[in-house]
Amino acid sequence: MAQDYKNSSRAAAALIFWMAALSVLLIRTAQLQIVEGAKYQNYARQNRVRKVAIPAARGLIFSRDSVIIAESKPAFNLVLVAVRDWGPAVITAARILGLDSSSVKQEIIFQRRAYPKDPVSIARNLAPEQVALIEEHADKLPGLRLATESRRQAPFGSYASHLIGYTSELNPREYERLKEQGYRLGDFLGKGGLEKKYEDLLRGSDGCEFVEVDAKGREQGNIPDLERLEPVPGVNLYLTIDWKLQQMAESLFTDGMQGAAVAVDPRTGQVLALVSSPNYNPDLFSTGISSDNWNRLAGDPSFPLWDRAIRSVYPPGSTFKVFTAAAALDSGLINEKQLLPKSCHGSMRIGNRVFKCWKPSGHGSLNLHEAIGQSCDVYFYQLGQMLGVQGISDLCLKVGLGSETGIDLPQEVPGLVPTVGWYEKRLGRGSWGGGVPANLSIGQGELLVTPLQMAVMYGAIGNNGALFQPHLFLRAEDYTGELLEKEQLKSHQLGISLNTLAIIKEALAGVVNQPGGTGGSARIYGVEVAGKTGTSQNPHGDDHSWFVAFAPKNDPVISVAVVVENAGHGSAVAAPLAGKLIRQYLAQQGITKDDNQKVAAAP
């Protein structure tokens, strides 16, 4: 009897236990299916559904005259999407495409360690015949897919490469910084010039579609019940660049010439042409630059990747003399007709040093107009002694030298205006003498400017002191042609009196148009060009050749700065090149009859 009771108790306990367990299971099942069913259904869908990005076409870049100077073309890539068991397919793909399978596998392993679930590009920019081969052998390539991307292309090759810039694949550091903004591994990013400056506008918004995948992550096909999101192309950017003038400026630098040319409309600040020579082809970067091409560019002693127009600084040489003159006139130290105490006999002694004039026989006694026209160094040495470093640097800083112009390009440099404090910090108080302001007065010594700065400054002189911030952005339109944004002009006054500006403009016109002027090779029949030659000393080699000018004198529509490195006198090299630029643009504007106007012979 007792035994029967014990057996009955055990059976009851077992029944209670199993009923309790069943209740827990039923409750948990109900929770999973009813309470949390939608969540787990979503998890299941995520396991079998992959979101595939549809890259947006990058916006086009146009010149002001609607010439496309940067565009996007569709390109095919082979992409690994499978997470597991991808080895055999990758080996087969490498064999089909003629790739080194070991290198490809190493790249995949390297990326998968950091980003285990992200697609990996096996090969980019496939040729049509390669695409056909991949499609032909698709059944042997599980886990691989053909994907399209928007590949940047420069229709004119290296022309305008420094202002356009280039796009290149994100590196890991950039990806970590930008992934929250929707960038993916393998995406391309603007890394130079306008491509970098206006990346947010040009990039566009990617679309997406959904595909079904198996347990190994291999795609099985599209899922029709999930909506496809179409990509939105990037914004089209219109520049202030005049393409005919840009091409002319590019063609000036022949036979390995190094330097820069900048043309600006002084009435608006619109940059009409911007050239740095030598240049490079942005297409080298558009699918990921090879190590050979990168080593060739980076190791080139002529630095083709360096934008000399906004990043190289040079002593301005005699092109700076107008600022020395402006400082002396505005401070009342001289007037335009005054002869200075020392006439030019080819040199001038300051302390223990003899400072030479470019003309060994000298220029004799000159007034300001004549001294600028003939570029007499001795005359300006005397102005430098009168002004001192403080007087020269004060005028420079007031007009904006030593500061960035604010052009919408990355990496512009400000140049250098040395001040009294600058010299005292580096040379010691009282350890420098009268030779320093003498050097500065003719644009030598430690004073450094960019070609863009000089084009803008001379344009402001021609524009009666109104300096407009230089810019390349003209307007932005969406892919339907709707205007989204247009240029905003910004300006300020140089701070030089109108009387002084008028005197300087007349003197600059004399440089080009009067007998004995050093800029005669830039003369244009029927138009007054106002400009100044310069020959700046270069501690690393031959002198640099400068010419800066604006035209027409009384109502300028263009200001130009040309510097040719190691080319000698500005009158011989830079001036005739600048004259060609000015002549073509004036012809385009209808100010001269054609672009083949005769040039008066230099005196």
Domain-embedded: residue 184: yes
What pLDDT digit, counting tens, does each position of 384-405 carry? 999 999 999 999 999 999 999 9
- Top pLDDT among 13 and 67 is at 67
What pLDDT was estimated at residue 207?
A: 80
Read off the CATH number of the domain in which 223 is found.
3.90.1310.10
User: For the ranges 138-152, 377-391, 498-512, 522-536, which has the lowest average pLDDT?
Assistant: 138-152
Domain-embedded: residue 1: no
User: Which of 222, 239, 256 is the endpoint of a domain?
Assistant: 239
- Top pLDDT among 48 and 210 is at 210
Are 334 and 367 found together in one domain? Answer: yes
Are 330 and 188 found together in one domain? Answer: no
What share of the chain has pLDDT > 70, as a percent?
88
What pLDDT was estimated at residue 44?
A: 45
Burial of residue 464, with CB atoms counted within 10 A of its CB: 0-12 exposed, 13-18 middle, 19 or more buried: middle
Arithmetic mean of pLDDT, 106-117:
79
What pLDDT was estimated at residue 55?
A: 81
Single-letter amino acid, residue 527: V
Are 502 and 429 found together in one domain? Answer: yes
Arithmetic mean of pLDDT, 294-306:
91
Are 363 and 507 found together in one domain? Answer: yes
The mean of the pLDDT values for the chain is: 87
Domain-embedded: residue 291: yes
Domain-embedded: residue 204: yes
- CA atoms of 275 and 262, how far apart (whole Å): 6
Domain-embedded: residue 385: yes
Confidence of residue 50 (pLDDT cuts 50, 70, 90): low
Q: 67-102 b/e with 16+ CB inside 10 Å = b? A: bebbbbeebbbbbbbbbeebeebbebbbebbebeee
What pLDDT was estimated at residue 598?
A: 43
CA angle 433, 435, 437 (to 5 degrees): 95
Arithmetic mean of pLDDT, 289-317:
92
Number of domains in the chain: 2
Going by their DSSP bridges, the two strands 207-213 and 61-62 should be labelled as: unpaired
Read off the CATH number of the domain in which 433 is found.
3.40.710.10
Are 510 and 424 found together in one domain? Answer: yes
Confidence of residue 43 (pLDDT cuts 50, 70, 90): very low
What pLDDT digit, counting tens, does each position of 219-237 carry? 555 556 567 788 899 999 9
Out of 12-21, 52-61, 529-538, the most confident range is: 529-538
Are 179 and 280 found together in one domain? Answer: no
* 485 bridge partner residues: 476
Q: What is this structure's pTM? A: 0.85
What pLDDT digit, counting tens, does each position of 487-520 carry? 999 999 999 999 999 999 999 999 999 988 899 9
What pLDDT was estimated at residue 9?
A: 67
Are 461 and 575 found together in one domain? Answer: yes
What pLDDT was estimated at residue 600?
A: 37
Are 549 and 425 found together in one domain? Answer: yes
Domain-embedded: residue 7: no
Arithmetic mean of pLDDT, 196-217:
78
- CA atoms of 312 and 323, how far apart (whole Å): 21
145 closest CA partner among 80, 83, 86: 80
Are 216 and 320 found together in one domain? Answer: no
> Please, are residues 409 and 450 in contact by the beta-carbon 8 Å criterion?
no
What pLDDT digit, counting tens, does each position of 51-71 carry? 667 788 899 999 999 999 999
What pLDDT was estimated at residue 169?
A: 84
User: Which of 214, 239, 264 is the endpoint of a domain?
Assistant: 239
Are 227 and 249 found together in one domain? Answer: no
Alpha helices in 416-527 (DSSP H): 420-427, 435-441, 451-462, 498-513
User: Which of 195, 213, 239 is the endpoint of a domain?
Assistant: 239
Domain-embedded: residue 562: yes
545 closest CA partner among 334, 317, 387, 392: 317
**Domain span including residue 390:** 243-298+306-588
What pLDDT was estimated at residue 595?
A: 46
Taking the alpha carbons at both ends of the chain, their separation in whole angstroms is 140
Are 372 and 396 found together in one domain? Answer: yes
What pLDDT was estimated at residue 230?
A: 84
Res. 39: pLDDT tops 90: no
> Please, are residues 588 and 242 in contact by the beta-carbon 8 Å criterion?
yes
Res. 410: pLDDT tops 90: yes
72: Cβ contacts below 8 Å, ≥ 6 apart: 57, 58, 59, 60, 150, 151, 152, 153
Domain-embedded: residue 81: yes
Are 200 and 329 found together in one domain? Answer: no
